[in-house]
Amino acid sequence: MDMAGTVKTLLKKIFSLALIFNALISITTVAGIIYGYYRAYPYWQPYAPFLLSGSLFWFALAAALINIFHSAAIGRVLHISRFLFHHYVYGIFVIVITSVYVMLFTPVSLHGLFFVDDSSVAVNAGRVFLLGGIALLLDDLPDVSRRMEANLNWLKTKACRIKKVLHISQFITGIFAFYCSLSMLLSTLQNSARALPNSFVIVSLFITSITSFALVKRRSWLNLTPPS
């Protein structure tokens, strides 16, 4: 492979990892909002009056989950040389080190890392590195073991049977992800006290919605074929 081809492949790989990472950000941040919404219900209506109900975040969460499959698939078809280990080994290493860091050097527990309202540098660094490790793991998941690859192929086979439903669902949930992002933006413009933490969710959900629409346009689910 020439230099231009190598650079193009690496950029596609980075793009794939970035999409997985963004989907994980959407999932974790939205999960935190949903957790806070139901815990405080009915006393807290998030981002009202622009957002009709906090329950609509479930659709945004679904959009990110649906996007992960094809986001990871973009990188899996690329053949790049491995440095010492498979990528999932580095992912597991980052997850383990970050987990130890969170438990020893942050005031929050590992299981509550994404469900506490803490904007400190230490906590956010733990969140970023943990999600980065998970993104590396998901990107290389089929190589973890033959059983894992077989399980993923089984899921792919099942997905092929409902690919029209997944195609339509991706479009619908993408609309709700965009709506939630827009509602948060309008609410934040009126109350800038939480502009910084809200901005991460707003941008992440916007990218999630654009990814959904792009995959729908490419008919990614409809073009899905069963594993050989």
Instruction: Give the single-character DSSP code of 86.
Output: -
Neighbour-count burial for 68-102, b at 16+ CB within 10 Å, e otherwise: bbbbbebbeeeeeeeeeeebbbbbbebbeebbebb
Domain boundaries, the chain: 3-217
- Per-residue model confidence as pLDDT tens digits over 210-227: 999 999 999 999 999 988
Taking the C-alpha atoms of residue 78 and residue 116, their distance in angstroms, rounded to an integer, is 37
Q: Give, rounded to a whole angstrom, the gap between the first and last alpha carbons of the chain.
A: 27
Alpha helices in the chain (DSSP H): 3-40, 57-76, 87-105, 121-139, 146-161, 163-190, 195-217
Greater pLDDT, 122 or 80: 122
Taking the C-alpha atoms of residue 93 and residue 90, their distance in angstroms, rounded to an integer, is 5
pLDDT band at 3 (very low <50, low <70, confident <90, very high): low
pLDDT band at 144 (very low <50, low <70, confident <90, very high): confident
- Per-residue model confidence as pLDDT tens digits over 8-48: 777 888 888 999 999 999 999 999 999 999 999 888 899 99
Q: Is the pLDDT at 136 greater than 70, yes or no? A: yes
pLDDT band at 95 (very low <50, low <70, confident <90, very high): very high
- Is the CB of residue 95 less than 8 Å from the CB of residue 128? no
What pLDDT, on the 0 to 100 scale, is given for residue 79?
54
